[in-house]
Amino acid sequence: MAAERFHLAWFLNFVADSWNGQWGSGGMPWDGEFYVEVAKDLERAGFDYVVIEDKLMVSDAYGGSTESNLKHAIAPKHDPVPLATLMAYNTSRLGVVPTMSTSFYPPFLLARLCATVDHIAHGRFGWNIVTSAEDRSAQNFGLEKLYEHSLRYDMADEYLDVVTQLWDSWEPDAVVRDRATGTYADHTKVHQVDFRGRFYSSRGPLNTVRSPQGRPVLCQAGASPKGRDFAAKYADTIIAVGNSPAEMKSYRDDIRERAQGHGRKPDDCKVLFLVSPVVDETEEAVRAKVQRWTSDPAYIEHVLTELSSITEVDFSQFDLDQPLPEDLTTNGERGSLEAFMQRGSGKTLRELVGLGISPGVELVGTPDSVADKMGELMAEVGGDGFLLTCPSGGLNRRYITEITDGLVPALQRRGLTRTSYGFEHFRDNLLEF
């Protein structure tokens, strides 16, 4: 079965780009200009959106010290919302999706921020919903530790209820600008919320005009059963990881079934699978490139440091040439830990890291061969697209160009991805196919 058109998005961090390589901007991208260039390239290539990940701490999970985290520029990490605003201001169709945590943003503040930036972005703003997964983040906000994983999702469910009511507190036609009566907004169409729940309360209404999309495009990464159900209930697009076509299909089918159980149309929730395509002019050249990356001790330490940061499991304690213990658990990002461990039963930690050049399935080859693989994979899975991310170290111009000017044209020639945008608003483009 041939694949129909699918969506492309990009996953990045507002961190130092490839500062010690030949193709970065020098590792000082804090004015946002480098990432604005990236956004323009992604828009030119027809990407639906860019997700900007976030963490609210400098991790010391790897080896009990911040040394490796800072050495490999996993931190510093700057706030994604101003960067998303800047990216949106300098583009016209690309969706921008910063990460904000339900554990640390007061609901009214987040609802107001989303409405404000959606106006600035002309209806192209999204919110990557996280509950956060690190005790170190909680300690930056006056808590000893994070709430338990399941409770965090209970809280997030109520959080979405209150922010949705706040977004809806202004009716679409509340702004009348009636010169005859001197009325800017009709007070009968702006409503108090008076929300009182188990965890949150808010009087409302928002003091911002209803945004162009009504609410931002909602993005979420649901891996655990609780996370999947939350994502299926609320998300317009989901970040997913699958280690095989069968696993990816099973995940998407499960999400669609859960969405239908929540009274939603399954096609209104787009599941995008995280991948890191690696391309070059010949198969020999690309295999040599991958071998250089995965055999580099700095690359291995970088991968394990980053994995420690998001799971709060200290991977420095394990022998690289032995399999990981099967009973590893975490109150952090369970999905990330499970996806990493499921890459190969009985494989050593070094081998698992070697597989980590591409999250999920391997997409390594020439632009044409990788485009064929992506088309075949989507046909087998059923949809809806891919979320691309840089495979090693910081993001760099060379990798962006290899994708936007090498891989994407190969996908477009096959009719697999868009060549132009059909709509102005982010959600409309997401639902176009």
pLDDT in tens, 232-276: 999 999 999 998 999 999 999 999 999 999 999 999 999 999 999
Q: Do the domain assignments include residue 2?
A: no
Q: Do the domain assignments include residue 166?
A: yes
Q: Do the domain assignments include residue 390?
A: yes
Query: Using CA atoms, how far apart are residues 285 and 301, in angstroms rounded to an integer?
Result: 24
Task: With a cut of 70, list the residues of the chain below it in pLDDT.
Answer: 1-2, 344-345, 355-359, 392-393
How confident is the model at residue 161, as a pLDDT? Answer: 98
Q: Give tens-digit pLDDT for 308-364.
A: 988 889 999 999 999 999 888 887 777 778 778 777 667 888 888 876 556 678 899
Structure tokens given for 368: 């044409």
Q: What is the CATH number of the domain that holds 241?
A: 3.20.20.30
- Segments forming the whole domain that contains residue 142: 7-430
Q: With contact defined as beta carbons under 8 Å apart, do 32 and 86 qualify?
A: yes
Say if strands 201-202 and 195-196 run parallel, antiparallel, or are unpaired.
antiparallel
The position carrying tokens 């931190």 is: 75
Q: Do the domain assignments include residue 271?
A: yes
Instruction: With CA atoms as reference, report the closest residue to 239 among 3, 394, 7.
Output: 7
How confident is the model at residue 65, as a pLDDT? Answer: 96
Q: How many domains does the chain have?
A: 1
Q: How far is CA 196 from CA 105, 161, 193, 200, in A?
A: 17, 11, 9, 6
Q: Do the domain assignments include residue 76?
A: yes
Query: Using CA atoms, how far apart are residues 374 and 416, in angstroms rounded to an integer?
Result: 9
SS3 157: helix
Q: Do the domain assignments include residue 248?
A: yes
Q: Give tens-digit pLDDT for 354-386.
A: 765 566 788 999 999 999 999 999 999 999 999
Q: Do the domain assignments include residue 122?
A: yes
Query: Using CA atoms, how far apart are residues 50 and 126, in angstroms rounded to an integer?
Result: 9
How confident is the model at residue 320, as a pLDDT? Answer: 92
Query: Using CA atoms, how far apart are residues 214 and 74, in angstroms rounded to an integer?
Result: 35
How confident is the model at residue 415, as a pLDDT? Answer: 98
Instruction: Please tell me the total number of residues recorded for the chain in this structure.
Output: 433
Query: Using CA atoms, how far apart are residues 134 and 248, in angstroms rounded to an integer?
Result: 27
Assign 3-class secondary structure to 19-85: CCCCCCCCCCCCCCHHHHHHHHHHHHCCCCEEEEECCCCCCCCCCCCCHHHHHCCCCCECCHHHHHH
Q: Do the domain assignments include residue 1?
A: no
How confident is the model at residue 1, as a pLDDT? Answer: 62
Q: pTM score, two decimals? A: 0.94
How confident is the model at residue 346, as a pLDDT? Answer: 79
